[in-house]
Amino acid sequence: MRFFANVPKRRKAMQFMTAAGIIILAAACSAEADMPETHIVEMHGLTFVPATVEAKVGDTVLWINTDVMPHTATAADGAWDSGMMEVDDEWSLLIEEAGEMNFICTYHPGMEGVITAE
Partner 1 sequence: MIKQILVGVAALATATVSACASEVDDGGPSDMQIAHIAYTAGNIDIRYAHLALAISDNPDVREFAETMLRDHVAVNDAALALLAKLEAAPEDNETSQVLLSQALEKRNELKVLDGAAFDKAYAENELAYHQFVNKTVEEAFIPAADNQEFKELLGVALQTFKVHEGHAEMLVEKTK
For binding to partner 1 (CB under 8 A), which residues are involved? 45-46, 68-70, 87, 107-111
Phi, psi at 28, each rounded to 5°: -65, -40
Q: Say how far apart CA 31 and CA 24 lie, in whole Å.
A: 11
Burial 51-63 (b: 16+ CB within 10 A, else e): eebebbeebebeb
The reply on whether position 103 binds Cu ion by CB under 5 A is no
Q: Which of residues 45-84 bind Cu ion (CB under 5 A)?
A: 71
**Shortest distance (Å) from residue 115 CB to partner 1:** 22
**Shortest distance (Å) from residue 65 CB to partner 1:** 11
Given partner 1, Cu ion, none, residue 42, with its beta carbon under 5 to 8 Å by kind, binds none
Q: Exposed (0-12), middle (13-18) or buried (19+): which is 12, by Cβ within 10 Å?
A: middle
Nearer to partner 1, 14 or 84 (CB): 84
**Shortest distance (Å) from residue 87 CB to partner 1:** 7
Choose, by CB under 5 A, the member of 62, 75, 108, 114 that binds Cu ion: 108
74, 82 contact by CB (below 8 A): yes
